[in-house]
């Protein structure tokens, strides 16, 4: 494995998706070594860097369940995380122009599964599948001559909650943003006969990779590291500006009901801000559309504008603006 330096690695104790995503970011940008991370997140929806969160996730259902929706630094599609989904991350140095290599970075996971009797294969651009069903989605991000690869591995994830939180609202949005590719998935718990828990899966894969990479040094984050990671999580991953404002530009069109009449809204949104907006259906709402220009494409902000004008519009109708 001469493509890799001597690696450091850990199974992270944290289940906080904000912290864990920031650890990846921090090690990629602030450190120089090669790293392996395994971790489980608490329930969360993780969107790709170049996606529109409202298009890919049911943000309102997630909010009602106390589940955060977070943008990561790598591309690819939106995924659901919980304690039944093992995340694996490889961060390494590479030659310029040779960083992106999904086949290389998924190979150790595939070989582990094959060793356990699972006929896993690399499929499409970046997936691992078993008998035609997706068990792992993967994404990468290049920084100078370093690359971050991270993937999911479905072991015992709630596919029911996943189906409620992942959304396909492509017909409402016109954009060049990356669209998620929804395909049938499966959990590995039913076919991994010798592994009964998520934690056991993590330990087994870490042991396998320790041999695969000819030894992995124990990664220990210092208190200074943890402080910097906490600051970065707060200034980036927990902000509206990163999670929603970073979205690629898009046109949005939909219908909604107000004052007993059907209206049609069309808006152009860039950097999370409404730059153009028209509402057809009544003179009142046509005038109010102009007041949305300059407003964030955000439920609370739009709701506050209507409430300040004493326009009686149901909250479920405001949700049709997304």
Report domain extents, the chain.
Answer: 7-243, 250-321
pLDDT for 98: 78
pLDDT, tens digit, for every residue of 138-171?
Answer: 999 999 999 999 999 999 999 999 999 999 888 9
What three-state secondary structure class fits 147?
strand
Question: For the sheet containing 69-71, what is the strand order?
Answer: 69-71, 44-47, 79-81
Q: In what order do the strands lie in the sheet with 127-130?
A: 120-123, 127-130, 133-136
Contact assessment for residue 129 and residue 109, using Cβ atoms and an 8 Å cutoff: no
Q: What is the pLDDT of residue 2?
A: 45
| CATH 3.40.50.1980 fits domain 250-321 | no
**Span 232-254, mean pLDDT?**
98
- At residue 308 the predicted structure's pLDDT band, cuts being 50, 70 and 90, is confident
* Tens-place pLDDT, residues 34-70: 999 999 999 999 999 999 999 999 999 999 999 999 9
User: How far is the C-alpha of 187 from the C-alpha of 242, rounded, in Å?
Assistant: 31
C-beta of residue 223 within 8 angstroms of C-beta of residue 17: no
CATH number of 7-243: 3.30.930.10
Residue 4: predicted pLDDT: 60
- Can you give the pTM of this predicted structure? 0.94
Per DSSP, the three-state class of 276 is strand
């Amino acid at each position: 494995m001469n493509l890799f330096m001597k690696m450091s690695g850990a199974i992270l104790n944290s289940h906080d998706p904000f912290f864990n995503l920031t650890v990846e970011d921090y090690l990629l940008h602030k450190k120089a070594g090669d790293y392996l991370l395994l971790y489980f997140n608490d329930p969360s929806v993780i969107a790709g860097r170049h996606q529109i969160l409202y298009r890919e996730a049911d943000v309102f259902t997630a909010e009602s369940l106390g589940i955060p929706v977070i943008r990561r630094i790598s591309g690819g599609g939106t995924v659901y995380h919980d304690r039944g989904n093992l995340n694996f991350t490889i961060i390494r140095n590479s030659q310029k122009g040779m960083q992106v290599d999904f086949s290389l970075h998924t190979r150790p996971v595939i070989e582990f599964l094959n060793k356990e009797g699972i006929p896993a294969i690399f499929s499409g651009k970046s997936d691992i599948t078993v008998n035609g069903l997706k068990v792992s989605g993967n994404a990468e991000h290049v920084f100078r001559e370093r690359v971050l690869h991270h993937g999911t591995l479905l072991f015992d994830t709630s596919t029911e909650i996943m189906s409620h939180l992942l959304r396909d609202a492509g017909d409402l949005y016109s954009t060049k943003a990356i669209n998620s590719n929804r395909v049938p998935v499966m959990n590995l718990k039913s076919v991994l006969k010798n592994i009964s828990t998520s934690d056991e899966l993590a330990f087994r894969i870490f042991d396998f990779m320790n041999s695969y990479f000819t030894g992995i040094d124990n990664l220990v984050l210092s208190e200074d590291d943890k402080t910097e990671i906490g600051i970065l999580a707060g200034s980036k991953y927990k902000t509206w500006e990163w999670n929603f404002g970073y979205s690629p530009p898009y046109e949005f069109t939909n219908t909604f009901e107000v004052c007993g009449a059907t209206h049609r809204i069309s808006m152009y949104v860039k950097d999370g801000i409404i730059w153009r907006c028209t509402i057809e259906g009544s003179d009142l709402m046509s005038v109010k559309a102009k007041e949305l220009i300059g407003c964030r494409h955000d439920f609370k902000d739009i709701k506050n504008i209507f409430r300040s004008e004493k326009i009686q519009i149901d909250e479920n109708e405001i949700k049709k603006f997304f």
